[in-house]
Amino acid sequence: MQVDPAMDYPVLVILTGGEVGDTVGFIDYPSFPCGGPVVLLEVTDEYVDLAEQMEFGTYHCVSGAVRLQLRAAARLDYQWRLADGTLMVTAILSRRPPR
């Protein structure tokens, strides 16, 4: 759920392996549309922090920071923050099997 303005939309996150500072995947917001690679900022036992680097749709979206935290099998808590750290979006993401 996005805070201001309130809205729901799909988020696609694809992650691969890597070290802090590496590009470790891709994020896509197909409703806007915008997306780009994500860089690994921090890994703890509880969460993973990523920095978005929007490559397309930058007219509609700005790069931000994403925190993913395992909630249950095949579910992640998702938080999106502005560059200044302001929390703007929270959601629960569900894993979908590959097509």
Number of domains composing the chain: 1
Torsion, Cα of 92, 97, 98, 99 (10° steps): -110
Instruction: Give the range of the structural domain holding residue 78, as residue numbers without chain letter.
Output: 12-94
Q: What is the pLDDT of residue 60?
A: 86
- In this prediction, residue 1 carries a pLDDT of 53
pLDDT below 70 — which residues of the chain?
1-5, 98-99
pLDDT at 95: 82
- 3 domain-assigned: no
Given this model, what pLDDT does residue 4 score? 63
* Cα 13 to Cα 75: distance, rounded to the nearest angstrom: 12
pLDDT given for residue 99 in this prediction: 66
Whose CA is closest to 36, among 47, 49, 24? 24
In a domain, residue 7? The reply is: no
| Token output for 41 | 């900022």
Q: What is the pLDDT of residue 73?
A: 78
Would you say residue 5 lies in a domain? no
Q: What is the pLDDT of residue 9?
A: 86
Residue 2 lies in a domain: no
Evaluate whether residue 88 is within a structural domain: yes
